[in-house]
Structure 1
Amino acid sequence: MAGNRAVAYKGPGKVEVIDTDYPTFELQDGPGVNPANVGRQVPHGVILKTVATNICGSDQHMVRGRTTAPSDLVLGHEITGEVVEVGRDVEFVKTGDLVSVPFNISCGRCVNCKKRRTEICLNVNPDRPGSAYGYVDMGGWVGGQAEYVLVPYADWNALVFPDKAQAMEKILDLTMLSDILPTGYHGAVSAKVGTGSTVYVAGAGPVGLAAAASAQLLGAAVVVVGDFNTERLAQARSFGCETIDLSKGEPHEQIEDLLKSPEVDAAIDAVGFEAMGHGGKEAPATVLNSVMSVVSAGGSVGIPGLYVTGDPGGVDEAAQRGALSMDFGTGWAKALTFVTGQTPVMKYHRGLMQAILNDRIHIAKAVNAEVISLDDAPRGYEEFDKGAAKKYVIDAHGSIR
């Protein structure tokens, strides 16, 4: 039996590379695994040799101790890999295929999957609709920041790249298909970005940068990105965005200086619940309130930023259970549309794959992808937590040139 190594959460602020079990076609007991999923048979799955697996801001929330994630949870939901074993019931995915895996696990059989709402599949997480690899309260499917990982419902979930050699040439772009590119794109689509739109993106982390690049792909006239991190703002400017430094004033004031109007057609919250207020203190509703203030009446707000139902490190009792002081009256008065929740990756990933393969978007450059080894993952987490203007891609087997 082959071995396996993986990145595991060891407690607030700490991750380690550990020896762990090689995947099997049966869900085993372990940290975070829902008891109802233990022993679940996965003849419809494949085992991947991981080629690229990325560190995500959502992982960072757990590593900071801002969720109820248990110690030794294997992390990682952004997975691209080569199929090395195929389950008995898999018909179309073959050994040797190079595939992208949506971060949200779905069955392809339930009513929500049939509506293309794969982010709220009803059959993969006994606790609630929706699931993901290596994530707290998501059913206990083992994460992909590992040498090998199990992918269930492979004929449904795995996006096979049509030309393996071509895909490896563009692997740093294609690895973003598992999460941040579809997530950023979903934020832009949810905000109804179109030709000629003016767009405000709150947050210049990888998802915010992906949202900004997606808004450009959708035809936005101008994309304004706001953040406190000057290096991340410089990264946004590197591919044609306007930027505002939130330490220097309110978004609507700076947007008016740029656009001669304090309001935009569409806004995207790419920050989530660990948002910082202008006084340098955490204020979890501040971004939601600011995007409502800057989007024009009748506009839409896409919210790919993560909000949780349980936050042990929340600033107050309400925030610790996900209840925020949101200025909903403004949203109601302006007749705004809000779109929240996980991204239905499968709704977008095939089209975005074609955009990458045909050089319509260069997402790795936009998010400043940097390749690191599996053993370097703890350093990647540490630097990302300090605000590095990078997207860390873990090369688990030395496959990436």
Structure 2
Amino acid sequence: MMANKGVVYKEPGVVGVEEIGYPDLVLRDGPGVNPLNVGRKCEHGVIVKVVTTNICGSDQHMVRGRTTAPSGLVLGHEITGEVIETGRDVEFIKKGDLVSVPFNIACGRCRNCKQQDTHICENVNPDRPGSAYGYVDMGGWVGGQSEYVMVPYADFQLLKFPDKDQAMDKILDLTMLSDIFPTGYHGAVSAGVKTGSTVYVAGAGPVGLAAAHSAQLLGASVVIVGDLIEERLEQARSFGCETVNLREHANLEEQIEQILGVPEVDCAIDAVGFEASGHGQNAEEAPATVLNSIMDITRAGGRLGIPGLYVTGDPGAKDKDAQEGALKIRFGLGFAKAHTFVTGQTPVMKYHRDLMQAILNGKAQIAKAVNATVISLEEAPAGYKEFDGGVAKKFVIDPHGSLK
């Protein structure tokens, strides 16, 4: 049996690289695995040798202790790799294929999957619709920040790259197809971005930068990115975004007006989520800040795309309501302005093929936009710490030293 190492959540603020066991086509018992999923046979699945796997802000929520993730959970839901074993029921995916793995796990058979709502598949998580690799309360599918990982429902889910050599030349862009590029793009599409739109993106982390780049691809005339960290804002400016520093200048409307001449935008994207901070020099965590601020600055009749993660349980929150996912949102303002809110995880498969073509044909430079930075598997714990400090990088883990 081959060995397999992976990145494991140990306790708040601590991850480690450990032996995790080589995968097979059965979902075995382990940390975070739903008892109703234990022993689930996956002859429709494949074993993937991981070429790249990325650290995500959603992972950081768990590592900070802001969820009920158990110790020992193998992390990682952004996976790109080579198929090295196929199950008995896999017909079209072949050994040797280089593939992108959507972070949503989806069966392809249920009502939601048939409607392209693969983010809320009904058959992969016994607790609720929707699942992902290496994530708390998502059914217990083993994470892919590892050397090898099992991927179920391979024929339905996997996006095969048409030419392996071409794909490896563009791998730092293509690795973003498993999550953040489709997630940023979904945020922009959900916000109604079109030719000529003025767009505000809250948050200059990797998803916010992906949303900003996506808004540009969709034809936005001006994309404004707001954040509290100047290094991240500098990264947004590097590919043509306007920026607002909400640590130095707390009044968002005034800053929008200085850029556009009016204190509002056509549409807005929340790429921050439930660990949002207030604005200003001494601001503290205030989880409804972004949602309320984007209602303030979005025109009447506008749309709000919300790819930022919100949770039903946040044990690290400062007040009891927020611990249960209840936030003080000015919903009446959104009602009065006839806003449209689009929430939920991204249905990756709705977008990933088109975005792959944009990458392969030179129309999208997502790796440059998010400052993709390659590290080894052993460097992952240090990468988590650096990312948690707000560095303007998207860490790409190269478990086998496959990248040039």
TM tier, smaller: over 0.9
Per-residue Cα deviation, 1:264-303 (whole angstroms, up to 9, x for no partner): 0010000000000024200000000000001000000000
Shift of 1:315: 1.5
Q: CA deviation at 1:174?
A: 0.1
User: In the alignment, is residue 283 of structure 1 matched against residue 319 of structure 2?
Assistant: no
Q: Which residue matches 1:249?
A: 250
Q: Which amino acid aligns with 2:394?
A: K
Provide the residue aligned with 1:259 in structure 2: 260
Structure 1, unaligned runs of 5 or more: none
Q: C-alpha displacement at 1:251, in angstroms?
A: 1.3
RMSD: 0.4
- Equivalents in 1 of 2:17, 2:273: separation in Å? 28
Q: Give the residue type in structure 2 aligned to 1:376.
A: E
In the alignment, what sits opposite 1:192?
192
Distance, in Å, in 2 between the alignment partners of 1:250 and 1:46 is 51
One-letter code of the match for 1:331? G
Matching residue within 376, 379, 404 for 1:376: 379
In structure 2, the residue matched to 1:104 is 104
1:213 equivalent in structure 2: 213
Matched residue type, 1:364:
A
Correspondence list, 1:110-259, <5 A: 110-247=110-247, 248-259=249-260
Matched residue, 1:46: 46
Equivalent residue number for residue 313 of structure 2: 310
- 242-251 or 150-159, larger mean C-alpha shift: 242-251
Candidates 370, 394, 398, aligned match of 1:395? 398
Q: How does 1:339-378 map to 2 (within 5 A)?
A: 339-378=342-381
Q: Which structure 2 residues correspond to residues 47-86 of structure 1 after superposition, within 5 A?
A: 47-86=47-86
SS at match of 1:149: strand
- Alignment-mate amino acid for residue 275 of structure 1: A
Q: Which amino acid aligns with 1:158?
A: L
**Counterpart-to-counterpart distance in 2, 1:183 and 1:250:** 28
Amino acid at match of 1:71: S
Partner amino acid, structure 2, of 1:40: R
Q: Does 1:298 align with 2:305?
A: no
Amino acid at match of 1:268: I
Give every structure 1 segment of 4 or more consecutive aligned residues whose post-TM-superposition deviation is greater than 4 Å: none
Q: How many residues end up aligned between the 2 structures?
A: 401
Residue in structure 2 matched with residue 327 of structure 1 by the alignment = 330
Q: Secondary structure at the residue paired with 1:99?
A: strand
CA distance in 2 between counterparts of 1:367 and 1:398 reads: 21
- Say yes or no: does 1:32 pair with 2:32: yes
Give CA-to-partner distance per residue, 1:140-182, whole Å, 9 cap, x none: 0000000000000000111000000000000000000000000
- TM-superposition CA deviations, 1:185-222 (whole Å, max 9, x none): 00000000000000000000000000000000000000
Q: Distance in 1 between matches of 2:7 and 2:30?
A: 14
1: CA distance, partners of 2:254 / 2:275: 23
* TM-score, normalization by structure 2: 0.99
SS in 1 for 2:384: helix
2: CA distance between counterparts of 1:315 and 1:357? 45
The one-letter amino acid of 1:258's match is I
Aligned equivalents of 2:131, 2:254: Cα separation in 1: 40
- Deviations along 1:329-365, one digit per CA (max 9) or x if unpaired, are 1000000000000000000000000000001010000
CA apart distance, 1:20 = 1.1
Q: Percent identity?
A: 74
Q: Secondary structure at the residue paired with 1:18? A: strand
Alpha-carbon deviation of 1:249?
A: 2.4
Q: Which amino acid aligns with 2:323?
A: Q
Alignment deviations for residues 41-62 of structure 1 (CA, whole Å, 9 cap, x no partner): 0000000000000000000000
Q: Which amino acid aligns with 1:318?
A: D
Give the deviation of 1:250 after TM superposition. 1.6
Corresponding residue SS for 1:323: coil
Q: How far did 1:252 drift?
A: 1.1
Secondary structure of the corresponding residue to residue 41 of structure 2:
coil
* Cα distance between partner residues in 1 of 2:321 and 2:141: 29
CA distance in 2, matches of 1:280, 1:367: 26
* SS of residue in 2 equivalent to 1:74: coil
- What SS does the corresponding residue of 2:122 show, helix, strand or coil? coil
* TM-superposed deviation, 1:34: 0.2
**Equivalent-residue separation in structure 2 for 1:109 and 1:196 (angstroms):** 39
